[in-house]
Amino acid sequence: MLNGKRIIVVMPAYNAEKTVEITYKEIPLDIIDHVVLVDDASRDQTVKLSQALGIDTLIHPQNLGYGGNQKTCYRHALQLGADVVVMLHPDYQYTPRLVVALAAMVAFGQYDIALGSRMLCGGALRGGMPRYKYIANRFLTMAQNLLMGTALSEFHTGYRAFSREVLLTLPLEENDNNFVFDNQIIAQAVYFGFSIGEISCPTKYFKEASSISFRPSVVYGLGVLNTAWRFFLQKRNLASYPMFSREGKRLLDGVPIVAST
């Protein structure tokens, strides 16, 4: 626990057998209250290894996509009474040693969301991020900042911490089940007025680390721009979208809510 807050780490997994153990063993389990892994119909031994490590493991019998995986992660963490939820990829691209730093930013009430940015202090290129990915990241972040009135260094990190209130409030069920979910949740948080903080985060690009190929990257980039454009239109009352509506469907709509402890 941190500041009396229950901290849960969630790991959305797909074919992560080569890295899940090293990732899990670097999580500071003396501070973290619970770890959850949601397997998205992996074709390797991810589930077997996760269960052998004693991780609370949920299994999708069919692949629901990265966004669909996150929805299960957050729903389960909320049902377990999490006050702060940290998403950590089990591919060891982000260091688990910063879990506490991210969680603390939320647990002590400084921010509603904390992001581990690869762009601050030049961590992305030093960690081996392909240059075309770096350029695309910078371009998309610039476009999003302009359309949404923000000043984030990166919208595309997969290392994030959320308060319980954020995950209960945002209409996350209105979001896509693919990779653009990552951007939609940040856009929603900005729209609903939640505060976002960032810390510098090193990253590693290597063979076993997950990375989307060129074509899905293009689809993701177009989805990012579409999300920012929808935000821009709705903020100016020129359009209305369920993902930015207070009446939009939430993760625990119709599901009993477990009180945090």
Q: Along the 261 residues of the chain, how does pLDDT read in single tens digits? A: 999 999 999 999 999 999 999 999 999 999 999 999 999 999 999 999 999 999 999 999 999 999 999 999 999 999 999 999 999 999 999 999 999 999 999 999 999 999 999 888 776 666 667 787 888 889 999 999 999 999 999 999 999 999 999 999 999 999 999 999 999 999 999 999 999 999 999 877 656 555 566 778 889 999 999 999 999 999 999 999 999 999 999 999 977 555 443
pLDDT at 94: 93
pLDDT at 260: 41
CA distance 207 to 184: 28
pLDDT at 59: 97
Secondary structure (3-state) at 256: coil
pTM score, two decimals? Answer: 0.92
pLDDT at 70: 98
Which alpha helices (DSSP H) does the chain contain, by range?
20-25, 46-52, 65-79, 99-107, 123-126, 131-148, 164-169, 181-191, 214-235
Q: Give the CA count within 13 Å in the CB-facing half-sphere of 260.
A: 19
Two structure tokens written together for 8: 């849960």
Residue whose entry in the numeric block shows the structure tokens 């990012």: 224
CA dihedral over 13, 83, 111, 143, signed as positive or negative:
positive
pLDDT at 210: 54
CA distance 122 to 201: 9
Domains of the chain, earliest start first: 7-244 (3.90.550.10)
pLDDT at 261: 37
Beta-bridge mates of residue 84: 7, 163
pLDDT at 259: 44
Which residues, other chains included, contact 230 with Cβ-Cβ below 8 Å and sequence gap of 6+? Answer: 187, 239, 241, 243, 244
